[in-house]
Amino acid sequence: MIKAGIIGATGYAGGELVRLLLGHKEAEIVWYGSRSYVDQSYASIYQNMFQIVDAKCMDDNMEELAEQADVIFTATPQGLCASLVNENILSKAKVIDLSADFRLKDVNVYEEWYKIRHQAPQYIEEAVYGLCEINRERIRGARLIANPGCYPTCSTLSVYPLVKEGLIDPSTIIIDAKSGTSGAGRGAKTDNLFCEVNENIKAYGVAGHRHTPEIEEQLGYAAGVPVVLNFTPHLVPMNRGILITAYASLTKDVSYEEVKAVYDMYYDKERFVRVLPKDVCPQTKWVEGSNYVDVNFKIDPRTHRVIMMGAMDNLVKGAAGQAVQNMNLLFGLDEATGLQMVPVFP
Protein backbone atom coordinates (compact mmCIF):
# COMPACT_ATOMS: atom_id res chain seq x y z
CA MET A 1 0.00 0.00 0.00
CA ILE A 2 1.52 3.28 -1.10
CA LYS A 3 1.26 5.99 1.52
CA ALA A 4 0.46 9.28 -0.17
CA GLY A 5 0.59 12.79 1.21
CA ILE A 6 -0.92 15.83 -0.46
CA ILE A 7 0.16 19.41 0.06
CA GLY A 8 -2.56 21.70 -1.25
CA ALA A 9 -5.41 19.22 -0.81
CA THR A 10 -8.16 21.85 -0.80
CA GLY A 11 -7.51 23.36 -4.22
CA TYR A 12 -9.43 21.91 -7.15
CA ALA A 13 -6.48 19.79 -8.32
CA GLY A 14 -5.85 18.66 -4.77
CA GLY A 15 -9.48 17.74 -4.33
CA GLU A 16 -9.37 15.71 -7.52
CA LEU A 17 -6.26 13.91 -6.29
CA VAL A 18 -8.20 12.94 -3.19
CA ARG A 19 -11.07 11.61 -5.32
CA LEU A 20 -8.75 9.54 -7.49
CA LEU A 21 -6.58 8.18 -4.69
CA LEU A 22 -9.69 7.12 -2.75
CA GLY A 23 -10.53 4.91 -5.71
CA HIS A 24 -6.98 3.54 -6.06
CA LYS A 25 -6.56 0.07 -4.59
CA GLU A 26 -2.83 0.35 -4.00
CA ALA A 27 -2.71 3.74 -2.32
CA GLU A 28 -3.96 5.43 0.81
CA ILE A 29 -3.86 9.08 1.77
CA VAL A 30 -2.02 9.79 5.00
CA TRP A 31 -1.82 13.59 4.88
CA TYR A 32 -4.37 16.14 3.71
CA GLY A 33 -2.26 19.27 3.68
CA SER A 34 -3.95 22.66 3.48
CA ARG A 35 -2.34 25.63 5.11
CA SER A 36 -5.57 27.68 4.95
CA TYR A 37 -7.69 25.11 6.76
CA VAL A 38 -5.33 23.50 9.29
CA ASP A 39 -7.22 21.45 11.90
CA GLN A 40 -10.53 21.74 10.09
CA SER A 41 -12.22 18.57 8.94
CA TYR A 42 -11.41 17.98 5.27
CA ALA A 43 -15.02 16.96 4.62
CA SER A 44 -16.24 20.29 5.95
CA ILE A 45 -14.37 21.98 3.10
CA TYR A 46 -15.32 19.44 0.43
CA GLN A 47 -18.73 18.22 1.51
CA ASN A 48 -18.73 15.61 -1.24
CA MET A 49 -16.25 13.77 1.01
CA PHE A 50 -18.65 13.63 3.98
CA GLN A 51 -18.54 10.14 5.56
CA ILE A 52 -15.80 9.23 3.09
CA VAL A 53 -12.85 11.17 4.50
CA ASP A 54 -12.50 11.54 8.28
CA ALA A 55 -9.17 13.33 8.37
CA LYS A 56 -8.40 16.90 9.33
CA CYS A 57 -6.35 19.30 7.27
CA MET A 58 -2.63 19.44 8.09
CA ASP A 59 0.00 22.09 7.49
CA ASP A 60 2.77 22.16 4.86
CA ASN A 61 5.47 20.37 6.89
CA MET A 62 7.16 18.48 4.07
CA GLU A 63 9.97 17.18 6.25
CA GLU A 64 7.50 15.52 8.60
CA LEU A 65 5.43 14.34 5.71
CA ALA A 66 8.43 12.63 4.15
CA GLU A 67 8.67 10.51 7.27
CA GLN A 68 5.12 9.28 6.89
CA ALA A 69 4.60 9.04 3.16
CA ASP A 70 6.06 7.14 0.23
CA VAL A 71 4.99 9.81 -2.20
CA ILE A 72 4.29 13.52 -1.78
CA PHE A 73 2.06 15.44 -4.18
CA THR A 74 2.44 19.21 -4.16
CA ALA A 75 -0.70 20.78 -5.64
CA THR A 76 0.34 24.29 -4.71
CA PRO A 77 1.16 27.63 -6.33
CA GLN A 78 4.49 28.09 -8.12
CA GLY A 79 7.45 28.39 -5.82
CA LEU A 80 6.27 26.36 -2.86
CA CYS A 81 7.67 22.99 -3.86
CA ALA A 82 11.02 24.50 -4.85
CA SER A 83 11.20 26.29 -1.54
CA LEU A 84 10.64 23.11 0.50
CA VAL A 85 12.22 20.21 -1.35
CA ASN A 86 15.65 19.00 -0.24
CA GLU A 87 17.92 15.97 -0.26
CA ASN A 88 16.51 14.58 2.94
CA ILE A 89 12.99 14.64 1.60
CA LEU A 90 13.94 13.18 -1.76
CA SER A 91 15.84 10.39 -0.06
CA LYS A 92 12.75 9.33 1.81
CA ALA A 93 9.83 9.95 -0.53
CA LYS A 94 9.06 10.43 -4.17
CA VAL A 95 7.89 13.92 -4.97
CA ILE A 96 5.33 14.68 -7.69
CA ASP A 97 5.06 18.42 -8.12
CA LEU A 98 1.88 19.64 -9.83
CA SER A 99 3.23 23.20 -9.97
CA ALA A 100 5.54 24.54 -12.66
CA ASP A 101 8.68 24.62 -10.51
CA PHE A 102 10.53 21.82 -12.26
CA ARG A 103 8.96 21.73 -15.69
CA LEU A 104 11.35 24.08 -17.50
CA LYS A 105 14.97 23.02 -17.86
CA ASP A 106 16.25 26.56 -18.31
CA VAL A 107 15.99 28.35 -14.98
CA ASN A 108 16.21 31.72 -16.71
CA VAL A 109 13.13 30.98 -18.77
CA TYR A 110 11.33 29.97 -15.57
CA GLU A 111 12.29 33.14 -13.76
CA GLU A 112 11.43 35.34 -16.70
CA TRP A 113 7.94 33.90 -17.28
CA TYR A 114 7.01 33.27 -13.67
CA LYS A 115 8.58 36.44 -12.23
CA ILE A 116 9.95 34.63 -9.19
CA ARG A 117 13.40 33.48 -8.13
CA HIS A 118 13.81 29.68 -8.29
CA GLN A 119 14.68 28.34 -4.82
CA ALA A 120 16.04 24.95 -5.82
CA PRO A 121 17.65 25.13 -9.25
CA GLN A 122 19.95 22.23 -8.31
CA TYR A 123 17.05 19.79 -8.80
CA ILE A 124 15.91 21.04 -12.18
CA GLU A 125 18.26 18.78 -14.09
CA GLU A 126 17.24 15.71 -12.15
CA ALA A 127 13.51 16.31 -12.31
CA VAL A 128 11.70 14.32 -14.99
CA TYR A 129 8.90 15.92 -16.98
CA GLY A 130 6.01 13.60 -16.24
CA LEU A 131 4.27 13.32 -19.56
CA CYS A 132 3.94 9.56 -19.36
CA GLU A 133 3.22 8.86 -23.03
CA ILE A 134 6.55 10.44 -23.99
CA ASN A 135 8.86 10.04 -20.99
CA ARG A 136 7.59 6.75 -19.59
CA GLU A 137 10.95 5.06 -19.11
CA ARG A 138 12.68 8.00 -17.49
CA ILE A 139 9.76 8.50 -15.11
CA ARG A 140 10.08 4.99 -13.68
CA GLY A 141 13.43 5.71 -12.09
CA ALA A 142 12.89 9.29 -10.97
CA ARG A 143 12.77 10.82 -7.50
CA LEU A 144 11.21 14.11 -8.53
CA ILE A 145 8.48 14.43 -11.14
CA ALA A 146 7.45 17.69 -12.74
CA ASN A 147 3.80 16.97 -13.46
CA PRO A 148 2.95 18.76 -16.73
CA GLY A 149 0.64 21.75 -16.92
CA CYS A 150 -2.91 21.28 -18.13
CA TYR A 151 -2.58 23.20 -21.39
CA PRO A 152 0.87 21.72 -22.18
CA THR A 153 -0.41 18.17 -21.69
CA CYS A 154 -3.26 18.56 -24.16
CA SER A 155 -1.27 20.72 -26.58
CA THR A 156 1.78 18.53 -26.67
CA LEU A 157 -0.11 15.26 -27.07
CA SER A 158 -2.24 16.74 -29.87
CA VAL A 159 0.70 18.04 -31.88
CA TYR A 160 3.67 15.87 -30.92
CA PRO A 161 3.46 13.07 -33.50
CA LEU A 162 3.35 15.41 -36.49
CA VAL A 163 6.25 17.48 -35.19
CA LYS A 164 8.29 14.42 -34.36
CA GLU A 165 7.75 12.90 -37.79
CA GLY A 166 8.45 16.16 -39.55
CA LEU A 167 5.05 16.45 -41.16
CA ILE A 168 4.50 20.02 -40.02
CA ASP A 169 6.68 23.10 -39.95
CA PRO A 170 7.24 23.90 -36.26
CA SER A 171 7.64 27.62 -36.95
CA THR A 172 4.01 27.79 -38.11
CA ILE A 173 2.36 26.25 -35.05
CA ILE A 174 -0.51 28.22 -33.53
CA ILE A 175 -2.38 26.78 -30.55
CA ASP A 176 -5.78 28.19 -29.67
CA ALA A 177 -6.88 26.71 -26.34
CA LYS A 178 -10.18 26.76 -24.43
CA SER A 179 -10.47 25.83 -20.78
CA GLY A 180 -13.15 25.34 -18.16
CA THR A 181 -12.99 27.57 -15.12
CA SER A 182 -11.62 25.05 -12.62
CA GLY A 183 -8.26 25.71 -14.25
CA ALA A 184 -8.33 29.15 -12.65
CA GLY A 185 -8.31 27.61 -9.20
CA ARG A 186 -10.46 28.06 -6.11
CA GLY A 187 -9.21 31.50 -5.08
CA ALA A 188 -11.96 34.04 -4.46
CA LYS A 189 -11.47 36.52 -7.31
CA THR A 190 -14.09 38.75 -8.90
CA ASP A 191 -13.08 37.57 -12.37
CA ASN A 192 -14.01 34.01 -11.51
CA LEU A 193 -17.42 34.72 -9.99
CA PHE A 194 -20.31 32.86 -11.58
CA CYS A 195 -21.89 36.00 -13.01
CA GLU A 196 -18.63 37.12 -14.65
CA VAL A 197 -17.86 33.78 -16.30
CA ASN A 198 -21.33 32.51 -17.18
CA GLU A 199 -22.66 33.50 -20.62
CA ASN A 200 -19.20 34.82 -21.48
CA ILE A 201 -16.02 33.88 -23.30
CA LYS A 202 -12.73 35.74 -23.48
CA ALA A 203 -9.08 35.23 -24.31
CA TYR A 204 -6.54 35.94 -21.56
CA GLY A 205 -2.79 35.97 -21.22
CA VAL A 206 -2.55 36.63 -24.96
CA ALA A 207 1.03 36.25 -26.20
CA GLY A 208 2.20 35.95 -22.61
CA HIS A 209 0.73 32.89 -20.89
CA ARG A 210 3.20 30.96 -18.72
CA HIS A 211 2.42 27.64 -20.31
CA THR A 212 3.88 28.87 -23.61
CA PRO A 213 7.55 28.09 -22.88
CA GLU A 214 6.59 24.70 -21.46
CA ILE A 215 4.85 23.70 -24.70
CA GLU A 216 7.71 25.14 -26.73
CA GLU A 217 10.31 23.18 -24.79
CA GLN A 218 8.49 19.87 -25.21
CA LEU A 219 7.76 20.36 -28.89
CA GLY A 220 11.34 21.54 -29.31
CA TYR A 221 12.59 18.14 -28.18
CA ALA A 222 10.35 16.55 -30.77
CA ALA A 223 11.44 18.91 -33.52
CA GLY A 224 15.11 18.79 -32.69
CA VAL A 225 15.21 22.56 -32.98
CA PRO A 226 13.91 25.36 -30.78
CA VAL A 227 10.21 26.02 -31.32
CA VAL A 228 8.56 29.39 -30.91
CA LEU A 229 4.80 29.42 -31.24
CA ASN A 230 1.59 31.28 -30.45
CA PHE A 231 -0.52 30.00 -27.61
CA THR A 232 -3.80 31.69 -26.67
CA PRO A 233 -5.94 30.39 -23.82
CA HIS A 234 -9.65 31.23 -23.45
CA LEU A 235 -11.95 30.98 -20.44
CA VAL A 236 -15.10 28.96 -21.18
CA PRO A 237 -18.26 28.86 -19.01
CA MET A 238 -17.94 25.26 -17.89
CA ASN A 239 -16.32 23.62 -14.86
CA ARG A 240 -14.01 21.11 -16.49
CA GLY A 241 -12.37 20.44 -19.79
CA ILE A 242 -9.69 21.73 -22.13
CA LEU A 243 -9.99 21.83 -25.88
CA ILE A 244 -6.99 22.52 -28.09
CA THR A 245 -7.30 23.64 -31.69
CA ALA A 246 -3.85 23.78 -33.24
CA TYR A 247 -2.81 24.90 -36.70
CA ALA A 248 0.37 24.27 -38.67
CA SER A 249 1.57 24.17 -42.26
CA LEU A 250 2.25 20.77 -43.73
CA THR A 251 5.77 20.16 -44.95
CA LYS A 252 4.56 17.99 -47.83
CA ASP A 253 1.44 16.63 -49.44
CA VAL A 254 -0.03 13.96 -47.23
CA SER A 255 -3.23 11.98 -47.25
CA TYR A 256 -5.61 11.42 -44.36
CA GLU A 257 -4.37 7.86 -44.13
CA GLU A 258 -0.73 8.90 -43.86
CA VAL A 259 -1.38 11.32 -41.05
CA LYS A 260 -3.66 8.85 -39.31
CA ALA A 261 -0.90 6.27 -39.47
CA VAL A 262 1.47 8.64 -37.74
CA TYR A 263 -0.96 9.28 -34.90
CA ASP A 264 -1.61 5.57 -34.58
CA MET A 265 2.08 4.81 -34.50
CA TYR A 266 2.41 6.92 -31.36
CA TYR A 267 -0.89 6.27 -29.66
CA ASP A 268 -2.18 2.91 -30.79
CA LYS A 269 -0.98 1.21 -27.63
CA GLU A 270 -1.60 4.12 -25.28
CA ARG A 271 -4.31 3.52 -22.71
CA PHE A 272 -5.27 7.15 -22.32
CA VAL A 273 -4.91 8.69 -25.76
CA ARG A 274 -7.73 7.97 -28.17
CA VAL A 275 -7.33 8.88 -31.85
CA LEU A 276 -10.95 9.42 -32.91
CA PRO A 277 -12.52 8.14 -36.13
CA LYS A 278 -12.29 10.28 -39.27
CA ASP A 279 -14.23 13.55 -39.10
CA VAL A 280 -15.21 13.13 -35.46
CA CYS A 281 -14.14 16.22 -33.53
CA PRO A 282 -13.08 15.85 -29.90
CA GLN A 283 -15.53 17.19 -27.32
CA THR A 284 -14.60 17.87 -23.72
CA LYS A 285 -17.80 16.26 -22.39
CA TRP A 286 -16.77 12.91 -23.82
CA VAL A 287 -13.73 12.70 -21.56
CA GLU A 288 -15.10 14.40 -18.45
CA GLY A 289 -14.07 12.80 -15.20
CA SER A 290 -11.67 10.42 -17.00
CA ASN A 291 -7.98 10.30 -17.78
CA TYR A 292 -8.46 10.21 -21.56
CA VAL A 293 -7.15 12.65 -24.12
CA ASP A 294 -9.16 12.47 -27.35
CA VAL A 295 -7.26 13.70 -30.41
CA ASN A 296 -8.02 14.09 -34.06
CA PHE A 297 -6.99 16.17 -37.07
CA LYS A 298 -8.27 17.55 -40.34
CA ILE A 299 -6.18 18.33 -43.40
CA ASP A 300 -7.12 21.48 -45.27
CA PRO A 301 -5.87 21.10 -48.83
CA ARG A 302 -6.92 24.68 -49.63
CA THR A 303 -4.44 26.21 -47.18
CA HIS A 304 -2.05 23.28 -47.00
CA ARG A 305 -2.42 23.28 -43.26
CA VAL A 306 -3.50 20.64 -40.78
CA ILE A 307 -5.84 21.41 -37.90
CA MET A 308 -5.04 19.29 -34.85
CA MET A 309 -7.55 18.95 -32.01
CA GLY A 310 -7.36 17.54 -28.51
CA ALA A 311 -9.81 17.33 -25.61
CA MET A 312 -9.26 16.25 -22.01
CA ASP A 313 -10.41 16.88 -18.45
CA ASN A 314 -8.04 19.51 -17.09
CA LEU A 315 -8.33 18.22 -13.52
CA VAL A 316 -7.71 14.56 -14.45
CA LYS A 317 -5.23 14.05 -17.30
CA GLY A 318 -4.34 17.72 -16.95
CA ALA A 319 -3.47 17.47 -13.26
CA ALA A 320 -4.46 14.80 -10.71
CA GLY A 321 -4.97 11.88 -13.09
CA GLN A 322 -1.61 12.35 -14.72
CA ALA A 323 -0.05 12.67 -11.27
CA VAL A 324 -1.51 9.29 -10.32
CA GLN A 325 -0.33 7.87 -13.64
CA ASN A 326 3.15 9.06 -12.72
CA MET A 327 2.82 7.54 -9.26
CA ASN A 328 1.87 4.22 -10.80
CA LEU A 329 5.01 4.30 -12.95
CA LEU A 330 7.21 5.31 -10.03
CA PHE A 331 6.00 2.39 -7.94
CA GLY A 332 5.97 -0.25 -10.63
CA LEU A 333 2.22 -0.59 -10.84
CA ASP A 334 0.13 -1.01 -13.94
CA GLU A 335 -0.02 2.50 -15.35
CA ALA A 336 -3.82 2.54 -15.44
CA THR A 337 -4.39 1.49 -11.84
CA GLY A 338 -7.11 3.65 -10.32
CA LEU A 339 -7.56 5.54 -13.57
CA GLN A 340 -10.03 3.41 -15.48
CA MET A 341 -13.00 5.67 -14.89
CA VAL A 342 -15.43 5.74 -17.80
CA PRO A 343 -16.14 9.35 -18.84
CA VAL A 344 -19.30 10.78 -17.30
CA PHE A 345 -21.91 11.82 -19.86
CA PRO A 346 -23.95 13.92 -19.81
- Catalytic residues, by residue number, are 150
Give the DSSP per-residue string, 213-241: HHHHHHHHHHHTS----EEEEEE-SSSS-
Q: Quote the least distance from Cβ 96 to a second copy, whole Å.
A: 20
Q: Which residues contact 32 (CB under 8 A, 6 or more apart)?
A: 6, 9, 10, 18, 42, 53, 55, 56, 57, 58
C-beta closer to a second copy: residue 301 or 332:
301
C-beta closer to a second copy: residue 164 or 240:
240
C-beta closer to a second copy: residue 50 or 224:
50
Q: Quote the least distance from Cβ 188 to a second copy, whole Å.
A: 4
Burial class (CB in 10 A: 0-12, 13-18, 19+), 260: middle
Give the DSSP per-residue string, 300-342: ETTTTEEEEEEEE-TTIIIIIHHHHHHHHHHTT--TTTT--PP
C-beta closer to a second copy: residue 108 or 198:
198
Q: Quote the least distance from Cβ 304 to a second copy, whole Å.
A: 9
Q: Quote the least distance from Cβ 127 to a second copy, whole Å.
A: 25
